[in-house]
């Protein structure tokens, strides 16, 4: 327990170490990152678009390559389209944003590519849409369930409890809205924190993947909150 707490404190320190840099200059000062996106719907398309605007290189992928090509063409030279395997190979960081029922297939088809890679998990289990796997994930906790379905990934759970239509707006008031995240890997948390901050959110580590059960609609951490509010609420959760 003490060792795990030390790892989380180190991760938080690494993430906060970036906070002194102005948002507009962060990508330039630290260099571009390559982000692969599996699932380019509302969440994946919106986040990928603002990461492109922040100066990162993004590859979009989904089951509709023509949609991804059109999206990339609209966003400019830092955006491109490919298959999910191409996106997974391309990204230094991979974001998976698919219906929860698709996660087992994604985990199997990308198993060799996600092992050891930083993966941001935005997926939420909804019983009405995803069926039995959603019940299992909710019982287990979405963070731990995703880790089991994406074995070997250095998983960070984030972007789970804020509406997709708002995700492209945070840069208008950088730092005013917190983004709760959960993870067990310090370097993965630091990488995700940088991407989160680059698009205007203030990353707030609420704990390890076991706390990922609270990063879902309908839970105590759902909705837009200030970083201080997120920390206050998270401190009351177990």
List pLDDT tens digits, range 24-83: 333 434 579 999 999 999 999 999 999 999 999 999 999 999 999 999 999 999 999 999
Full residue range of the structural domain in which residue 188 is found: 2-234
Res 3: pLDDT: 41
Please give the DSSP secondary-structure letter assigned to residue 63: S
Distance CA 137, CA 9 (A): 27
Distances (CA, A) of 129 to 9, 37, 180, 191: 36, 22, 24, 31
Alpha-carbon torsion 143, 183, 217, 35, what sign? negative
Distance CA 131, CA 184 (A): 28
Closest CA to 153 of 130, 121, 177: 121
This model's pTM is above 0.75: yes
Closest CA to 98 of 107, 90, 89: 107
Residue 128: both structure tokens together: 């009405």
Q: Which residues of the chain fall short of a pLDDT of 50?
A: 1-29
- Total tally of structural domains belonging to the chain: 1
Task: Using DSSP, state whether 8 is helix, strand or coil.
Answer: helix
Which residue do the tokens 């571009």 mark? 32
Distance CA 188, CA 215 (A): 17
Contact 203, 15 (CB under 8 A): yes
Contact 206, 221 (CB under 8 A): yes
Looking up residue 151, the CATH number of its domain turns out to be: 3.40.50.720
Res 30: pLDDT: 59
Residue 50: both structure tokens together: 């603002």
């Amino acid at each position: 327990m003490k060792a795990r707490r030390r790892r989380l404190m180190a991760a938080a320190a690494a993430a906060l170490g970036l906070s002194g840099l102005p948002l507009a200059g962060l990508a330039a000062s630290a260099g571009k990152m390559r982000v692969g996106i599996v699932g380019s719907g509302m969440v994946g398309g919106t986040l990928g678009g603002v990461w492109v605007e922040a100066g990162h290189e993004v590859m979009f992928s989904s089951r509709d390559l023509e949609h991804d090509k059109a999206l990339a063409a609209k966003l400019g030279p830092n955006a491109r389209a490919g298959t999910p395997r191409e996106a997974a190979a391309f990204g230094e960081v991979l974001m998976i944003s698919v219906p929860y029922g698709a996660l087992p297939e994604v985990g199997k088809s990308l198993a060799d590519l996600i092992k050891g890679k930083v993966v941001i998990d935005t997926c939420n289990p909804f019983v009405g849409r995803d069926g039995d796997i959603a019940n299992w994930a909710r019982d287990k906790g979405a963070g731990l369930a995703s880790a089991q379905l994406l074995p070997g990934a250095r998983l960070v759970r984030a972007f789970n409890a804020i509406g997709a239509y708002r995700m492209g707006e945070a840069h208008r008031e950088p730092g005013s809205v917190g983004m709760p995240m959960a993870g067990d890997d310090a370097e993965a948390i630091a990488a995700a924190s940088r991407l989160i901050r680059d698009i205007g959110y203030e990353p707030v580590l609420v704990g390890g993947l076991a706390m990922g059960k609270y990063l879902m609609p309908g839970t105590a951490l759902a909705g837009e909150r200030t970083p201080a509010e997120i920390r206050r609420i998270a401190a009351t959760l177990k």
